[in-house]
Chains A and B, each alone.
Chain A
Amino acid sequence: MQPFLFDRAGSVAEALRAVSDATVIAGGTNLVDYMRLGVVSPKRVVDINGLNRETAALGRITLDHQGLRLGALVRMAEAEDHPGIRAHYPVLADSLALAASRQIRTMASLGGNLLQRTRCEYFREASWPCNKRRPGSGCAALDGLNRQHAVLGTSDACIATYPGDMAQALLVLDAQVELTGPGGVRLMPVAKVHRQPGATPYLETTLAPDELITALVVPASPWSWRSRYVKVRDRRSFAFALASAAVALDLEGDRVKQARIALGGVATVPWRAEAAEVALVGKPLDQTTARAAAVAAFAGARTRAHNAFKVPLGQEVLVQALLQAGALQPPPPTTRNGVTHA
């Protein structure tokens, strides 16, 4: 760890002034870890945790007829505990509850969660060649121990897995991020935030360097309650996904009108499985169609020496998520916090 300057921003304006040449810190559960390991060595760190005193919305959850708005500084544990989110966006509540540990979730912010960086072991130890950490140095994982690594969205430069859980839930809920920059506020689909590695694995997001995430915005949808997150990991808690699937289904009778599917633990970015979605439309949801969709989801998978198991595992996880979502019952029309949904 190298010395750095530390500031606390008291307002969004102040944070924006600082952010172009500083790294922001929210919960710090990812950033501090990686600073200690020497993976990143920012010269300046700006603490944004005080911003919600000036702009309360940054730390607030609002749920109404238009949907859900989550301030970027909302902690994972707060969102996971929210009864309205549990009832109307179960995929989101589950993705949070199945992540990390309760202690980490109490510290970690939603903005930071979305932007958390890969856990690739070779990325996390500064002495290995790594195109993401040191552009052009090579990739130690390609022919190394790559059991954790991605099978979708990889390139010859990098096969690191996007490790988070929440992003997949946001994808199937058609969520957007609210970005605030010097030019004002803009909304961008979550699906556009992360970049596949290609030849430039060090470019991880499409955010401008002087932009902050200020909120996550999830539209209301009549079928968001029929959503599910299934995650398989090496132990029963406190581990990243080997494979996970987020699913949201619009069913008409037993037929699928629309399906949204996102995969975690198997791809370099939060992975929308459009081929699988298409495969389900108009079909009844059962073992056979779910399995066919799962096969379609992994059609483009490229495996390495130690991660081939992620294909059958990822397929099975998706089948489970689809069938479990299909079996969900709608929530009562009114929830405890008084929000009524159609």
Chain B
Amino acid sequence: MGAPVARIDGRLKVTGQARYPADTPLHNLAHGVMVTSTIARGRIRSLDTTAAASVPGVLLVLTRDQAQGQLTAPKFGTGGSTSIQPLNEERIWHDGQTVAIVVAETPEVAREAADLVAITYDHDTPSAGFDASGVEIVDGAGASPMYPEDPKAGDFDTAFKAAPVVLDATYNTAAQHHNPMELFSTTAEWNDGQLTVYEPSQFVAGWRAQLAKQLDMDAANIRVVSEYIGGAFGSKGPMTPRTAAVALAAKLVKRPVRCVCARAQGYTTATFRAETRQRIRMGAGRDGKIRAFSHEGWELTSRPDDYVVGGTETTARLYAYGAVHTKVQLVKADRNTPGYMRSPPETPYVFGLECAMDEMAEKLGLDPVEFRRVNDTQADPVSGKRYTSRSLMRCYDEAAAAFGWQRRLDAGVWKTGAMREGDWLVGLGCATAVYPTQVAPCAARVRLTADGKALLQTSAHEIGTGVRTVAAQTAAQALGLSVEDVTVEMGDSALPAGPVAGGSVSTASVCSAVLKACGAIRDKLYRAATVNSGPPATPESFTLRDGMAVLDSGRSAPLSALLQKLGTTQLEEYAEFAPEGSAPGAVEQLRQGNPGIMGGAKGPVLMYAFGAEFVEVRVHARTGEIRVPRMVGAFAAGRIMNPRTARSQLMGGMIWGLGAALHEMTEIDPRHARTVNRDLQDYLLPVNADVEGVEVILVPETDTEVNPAGVKGLGELGNVGTSSAIASAIYHATGRRLRDIPMRLDTLLQLQQT
């Protein structure tokens, strides 16, 4: 395990010195404000900008007329959030679609003028969601290259029919929005045909490539800068159409333009986690062994784009099921295109699966932990491939012990309502956390100077996870320096291409590239150290420590002396790391905007990280209020580079899981397909008072097969499973099965009334 180093940028952040993209000071800056539609489906009949344009200080009202022919529509996929460039559209595809951008001398003038843009529409009746008429249903398999087929194995129907114990249940997860603290923004500046965009981004390399296509220019003339990011969670992964539009606005007014979205606009002009509906059928033998498993998912997406979540990719492989059937279908409605949000597939789908596991354990009369043990596997039931490592039951055992699961067993494992304290019903529950271990191509440059300092550069992104710190630690350790001696530059497309900050790939990919670059530096130092220096040390025994090179014989030399020997004052190495099995030219592909993520279930072996989460809930017997006094999670995720940042990620994940279970939901007016709660007053997230005890246990695990760094990645592991653990605890407390999240007191009250 690495050292628990505090974040190297922590001080900058808490003292307000970290510079977020919208803070970038620029000379002669103009300000843009977006105008968004107030209907979800129809056409713009008229758009009158006269009043807006006549407000003193207005420089431009960018509408379809002005944009004509200058913006190529994006391509939906890993780089683009949608295939619609709204400023090319007469059609309204969703609520809050951008219809104009007003550019003015000040944000206030732009805002005033934006309110004066007069729009009339031809309305069509929109379809808001699953239960609306007019939705279109298409198969998920093949709709996206990320989801080629529904995993299947054996004959589910026969096995299910023959199973003595069966379950058939439907689960729903709500739409959610990321709501990062930092508002969405774009700042664009042109200098002699060179475009610089400052925007919080999880993929500057990909965005540069996207911008080149959308603005029809050479990527070499584009730079995307995103040094600090105030929360992203997937919302700043794919580039939204605003970026190119603001760049165009800046070009037209011949001044740098900054456009900061209002909080409410973030709900409709960026992506979100769409609602899912899932049906699970499970058949088991009396021995507790699952013989048949079917997971069907319905996922909401937009009319123009087929965004597939496809969490069956993971759930189909989680236990030794026997026969497996899965099917994913997309429900296309008049909504904006959804996208990635922290553990995109696993969060909703594992909620369904783990709730079903709890229900099935009850039907079998088994301790839910033992039920998982009985069905634990080291191989994929679908393909037969083995897991490189899987410490699920160790996680269960460690978390159960720390949590005191025995209390529930002592009270009679399936005796609900048995642990009452006054008006509060106490319940204990648990669930599995799982997330694919993925890794992506990454380039990095490391420069070691004679003064014992190093500079590390990669365009990878610090979205708040601590990767900047972990990268510094990795370089420091490899070069025998202290962390303070390493400067890290990230989040700039001018730097060596780094991976998308998604899929929990950053630590594994960045550290693998950094290790490679540092290894090359080390090789040169080794050669220098062993030239004309008596019997050469073996490479293995040559170590870099405290700014010195130490040879096996006990001799040591300062780095400066070795550099001198090499006739230089610094050593710089550029390295490209590509995951095993990558196509040739993976880093070049990365520069073209193809993230090249590998791992999970895609390769010849299965790579996953696991965890087990236990929670205690208290439910008020008459008001239905739900509280979570305690959460304990144990996680095994390969090598832990920094237990401090790792713990923070997992803890943050569990807290998010709590929010998903009890609070979060984007509410869509079913008549108008419009988002009704569009700020942090109505879109509820847990506050400190809701979060009581959270304990994270890091279960040691070694897995050298996953990637050279041995890192599994845990940015997204923590919030998987939490909501099912809470649902399971609520059932234990109340005897009520809640199958839809969020679980709020009104649901429990309604159940009590019936």
Q: Mark A116-147, 1 if CB is under 8 A from B, else 0.
A: 00010110010100000000000010011101
Would you list which residues of chain B between 676 and 728 have a CB under 8 Å from chain A? 676-678, 681-682, 684, 686-690
What residues of B have a CB within 8 angstroms of the CB of A239 in the complex? 684
CA distance in complex: A237, B685 (Å): 11
Residue of chain A at shortest CB distance from B55:
A3
Would you list which residues of chain B between 583 and 634 have a CB under 8 Å from chain A? 622-625, 627
The answer to whether B115 and A2 touch across the interface, beta carbons within 8 angstroms, is yes
What residues of B have a CB within 8 angstroms of the CB of A125 in the complex? 264, 676, 678
CA distance in complex: A53, B473 (Å): 57
Q: Please tell me if A6 contacts chain B, counting CB pairs below 8 Å.
A: no
Q: Please tell me if B753 contacts chain A, counting CB pairs below 8 Å.
A: yes
Kindly provide the distance from the CB of A325 to the nearest chain B CB, expressed in whole angstroms: 17
Residue of chain B at shortest CB distance from A315:
B622
Kindly provide the distance from the CB of A163 to the nearest chain B CB, expressed in whole angstroms: 10
The answer to whether A235 and B684 touch across the interface, beta carbons within 8 angstroms, is yes
What residues of A have a CB within 8 angstroms of the CB of B686 in the complex? 235
What residues of B have a CB within 8 angstroms of the CB of A199 in the complex? none
The answer to whether A235 and B676 touch across the interface, beta carbons within 8 angstroms, is no
Kindly provide the distance from the CB of B218 to the nearest chain A CB, expressed in whole angstroms: 40
Residue of chain A at shortest CB distance from B749:
A309
What residues of A have a CB within 8 angstroms of the CB of B398 in the complex? none
Kindly provide the distance from the CB of A131 to the nearest chain B CB, expressed in whole angstroms: 17
The answer to whether B671 and A1 touch across the interface, beta carbons within 8 angstroms, is no
Kindly provide the distance from the CB of B395 to the nearest chain A CB, expressed in whole angstroms: 29
Q: Please tell me if B744 contacts chain A, counting CB pairs below 8 Å.
A: yes
Residue among A121, A232, A237 facing the most chain B CB atoms (10 A cut-off): A121
The answer to whether A237 and B688 touch across the interface, beta carbons within 8 angstroms, is yes
Residue of chain B at shortest CB distance from A312:
B749
Cross-interface CB contact of B690 among A147, A235, A320, cutoff 8 Å: A235
Q: Mark A219-257, 1 if CB is under 8 A from B, else 0.
A: 000000000000010111111001000000000000000
What residues of A have a CB within 8 angstroms of the CB of B627 in the complex? 236
The answer to whether A2 and B684 touch across the interface, beta carbons within 8 angstroms, is no
With A121-B682, A125-B678, A317-B623 as given contacts, are A232 and B687 in contact (CB-CB < 8 Å)?
A: no
CA distance in complex: A278, B753 (Å): 27
What residues of B have a CB within 8 angstroms of the CB of A143 in the complex? 671
Q: Please tell me if B745 contacts chain A, counting CB pairs below 8 Å.
A: yes
What residues of B have a CB within 8 angstroms of the CB of A3 in the complex? 112
Would you list which residues of chain B between 258 and 316 have a CB under 8 Å from chain A? 264
Cross-interface CB contact of A38 among B115, B667, B688, cutoff 8 Å: B115
The answer to whether A121 and B744 touch across the interface, beta carbons within 8 angstroms, is no
Q: Please tell me if B54 contacts chain A, counting CB pairs below 8 Å.
A: no
What residues of B have a CB within 8 angstroms of the CB of A211 in the complex? none
Would you list which residues of chain A between 204 and 228 have a CB under 8 Å from chain B? none
Would you list which residues of chain A between 1 and 15 have a CB under 8 Å from chain B? 1-3
30 contacts between A and B (CB under 8 A): A1-B108, A1-B111, A1-B115, A121-B677, A125-B264, A143-B671, A144-B671, A145-B667, A145-B669, A147-B746, A232-B623, A232-B625, A232-B745, A234-B744, A236-B689, A236-B690, A237-B688, A238-B687, A238-B689, A242-B745, A309-B749, A309-B750, A312-B749, A312-B753, A313-B623, A313-B745, A313-B749, A316-B622, A316-B623, A319-B622
Question: A-B pairs with the 6 shortest C-beta distances?
Answer: A236-B689, A127-B38, A309-B746, A237-B689, A309-B749, A316-B622
Please name 4 further chain A to chain B contacts, defined as beta carbons within 8 Å, in addition to the given A125-B676, A232-B745, sorted by A numbering: A125-B264, A143-B671, A235-B684, A235-B689
